[in-house]
Amino acid sequence: MKRKIAQIDQAKCMGCGHCVLACRGNALGFADGKIDMVRAESCDGMGQCMPVCLAGAITFVEVDASEESSS
């Protein structure tokens, strides 16, 4: 089964946290001063985080849900 999850470009991320506040699933969080996917299984793929990202650091990728837990 395929599903979409947010992917953060660490090179672009400014660590502002706007996306963390917009994420309904609490899938995003802080790691080393940047934003990172901390709970991929909680990402609903709806994209509330993307329009609030001031740096344009968020894209969505399609993942195989069966492989997700092994990454």
Is the confidence at residue 59, as pLDDT, over 80?
A: yes
pLDDT, mean of residues 23-27: 95
Model's pTM, two decimal places?
A: 0.84
Is the confidence at residue 45, as pLDDT, over 60?
A: yes
CATH level 2 (architecture), domain 2-62:
2-Layer Sandwich (3.30)
Confidence label for 19 from pLDDT (cuts 50, 70 and 90): very high
β-bridge mates for residue 59, sequence order: 7
C-alpha R_g of the chain: 11
